[in-house]
Amino acid sequence: MNKIFTYSVAIAFCLLSSTSYAKKSIEQCEAKQDTTSGLSSCFDIVKASIDKELQTWINNQVFILEEFALTTGRRSALDMFKRSQRNFITFRENDCRWQYLAISPKTGAAAAYKKCYILLSKARIKELEMIKL
């Protein structure tokens, strides 16, 4: 268990700076971009950063749950976490897609989708940060 704790602390420490970067970046995109295409392109950069950060948190949680499964012989928590992650991805896609469809064909639909995607991904990261096993 000490190995898991050390790994988790190292991951969390590495992510602290990228979390604040992503938060500032979305605000910077909205403040500095004066065209719809510029805003959408800026959000692409933030989205890529958030995707990497979220994947790191997911990998960390899977690692912890795999170690737990090896120790206890019980895989149910790992299987359920993977299921919840698949469900989150479906939810995020559908939640952001309806917003896109409500705005389109007007300009700004793509930027709205990306902003929704970023905000939901950040919320998922916060949720994973709070898990203490």
Q: 55-68, pLDDT tens digit by residue?
A: 999 999 999 999 99
Q: Taking residues 61-80, report their average pLDDT.
A: 96
Name the residue with tokens 């190995």.
3
Q: Say which CATH number the domain at 93 has.
A: 1.20.1270.180
Q: Which residues contact 106 (CB under 8 A, 6 or more apart)?
A: none
- The parent domain of residue 125 ranges over 2-130
What is the Cα–Cα distance from 96 to 50, expressed in whole angstroms?
16
Q: Indicate the number of domains in the chain.
A: 1
Q: Which amino acid belongs to residue 110?
A: A
pLDDT value of residue 4: 52
DSSP class of residue 33 equals -
